[in-house]
Structure 1
Amino acid sequence: MRTNKDRIRHAVGFEIIALILSIPIMSFFFDFSLKEISVIAIAGSIMATLWSYGFNLIFDKGMLKFKGNTLKTPKIRILHVFLFEGGLLLLYLPMVAWYLNISLWQAFIMDASLVGFYLVYTFSYNWAYDKLFPVDHYPHHSQTA
C-alpha cells in the first residue's frame, strides 16, 4: 500500500499536469474564456484531488481484501479509470452547469468530450507514476529468498 504522503504527491502531481494540459484545450474547443474555464478547471481539480485520494485508498484496500495485493494489471487499470472518472463525473457536472449557466446535458456533453483525454491521461499518469515511485505490491510476504 502507498503511504499518505505518497498518495498526496500522486494526487497533486496528477492535478497540476492535468490543469496545464486541460485549460487551454477546454477553452479552445468549448469556446469559453480562459477565465471561465480556469475557474471550473481549478474547482474541478480540487474536487478531483479529494476524490482521487479517497477513491484510490478505497480501491487499494479493496484490492488487498479481494486479491491479496495491490498489483494493477492492465484490466484492473482500465476498471480503475472508468470507476474513478464515472464517480468524478457525478460530482462535477452540477457545478459546471451552474457556473457556465448551461444545462446538465450540455455539461455532460462537454465533460464526455474530455473523457477520452482523461482516460488516456489517467492511465498514462498512473502507469508512469508506478514506474517512477514503485511500491511493494505484496506487503504480507517476506522478501527473503
Structure 2
Amino acid sequence: MPLHLAPRARRIVQAVLYESFAIAFVAPVLMIVFDQAPLSSLGLTLTMSSIALAWNYGFNALFERWEARQVVKGRSRWRRAAHGIGFEGGLAMILVPVMAAWLGLSWWAALVANLGLLLFFLVYTVVFTWLFDRVFGLPASAQVRLQ
C-alpha cells in the first residue's frame, strides 16, 4: 500500500530524494569527465542541484496544476515522457550558462557537454518518478475520481 503525503510534503520529499540520488551520481562523473578537483566538481554539483531542487518544486507544482485540469486522469507513458522532457528542457535552459561559467566553456560547448547529463536525467526522471509514484501513490491531480 502506497504511503500518501499531503501535496506540499509530497513535492518536497520527491525533490529532496531526487536530488540526493542525482548528487551521488553526478559529482564523481563531473570530476572524471571534466578533470575537475573533487571540491570543484562537488561545488558545481551542489550549485546545479540547488537550482534543480527549486526548479523541481516549481515545475512539479505547475505540472500538477495542468494535470488536474486534464480530462484523462492517471500517468500514461506519454504523460510521464512529457513530464520528463518539460522538466529537463527547462532545467537545461537554466544550467547551461551555469556550467559554461563554472567550467570556462562557451555556451555551445556547455550545451554539448550537458547533453550526456540531459540524456541520463531524462531517463532518470521518468524512472524515478515512476518508482516514487509506486511508493507514495499518485498525486491527487493524477488520480481517477469515482463519481
TM-score, normalised by the number of residues in structure 1: 0.88
Q: CA deviation at 1:132?
A: 0.6
Q: Which runs of 5+ in 1 are unaligned?
A: none
Partners of 1:33 and 1:111 in 2: CA distance: 19
**How has the CA–CA distance of structure 1 residues 82 and 53 changed in structure 2, closer, same or farther, with 3 Å as cutoff?**
same
Partners of 1:56 and 1:9 lie apart in 2 by: 12
Give the 3-state SS of the residue equivalent to 1:31 in structure 2.
coil
* Aligned position for 1:141: 146
SS of 2:36's partner is coil
Structure 1 residues 108-119: aligned runs within 5 Å? 108-119=111-122
Deviation at 1:134, TM superposition (A): 0.5
Q: CA deviation at 1:73?
A: 0.6
Tell me by how many angstroms 1:41 deviates.
0.9
User: Unaligned stretches of 5+ in structure 2?
Assistant: none
Q: Aligned AA for 1:4? A: R
CA deviations over 1:56-88 (Å, ceiling 9, x no partner): 11111101113363x211111111111110000
RMSD: 1.8
Identity %: 28
Kept in 2: contact 1:36–1:100 (CA 8 A): no
> Does residue 75 of structure 2 align to residue 88 of structure 1?
no
- 1:66 counterpart SS class: coil
| SS class of match (2:95) | helix
Which whole-Å CA distance do the structure 2 matches of 1:103 and 1:2 have between them?
43
Identify which range, 11-20 or 104-113, moves more after superposition.
104-113
Contact 2:56 2:87 in 1 (8 A): yes
> Quick check: 15-24 or 129-138, which moved more?
129-138
TM-score normalized by the length of structure 2: 0.87
Q: Name the structure 2 match of 1:105.
A: 108
- Segment of structure 1 superposing worse, 12-21 or 118-127: 118-127
1:93 Cα deviation after fit: 1.2
What is the CA-CA distance between 1:33 and the residue it aligns to? 2.1
Distance change (3 Å), C-alpha of 1:117 and 1:138: closer
* 1:124 match: 127
Letter of the structure 2 residue corresponding to residue 79 of structure 1 = A
Q: Write the deviation string for residues 18-47 of structure 1: whole angstroms up to 9, x where unpaired.
A: 000111122212222222221111111111
Higher relative contact order (Cα pairs below 8 Å, separated by 6+ residues): 2
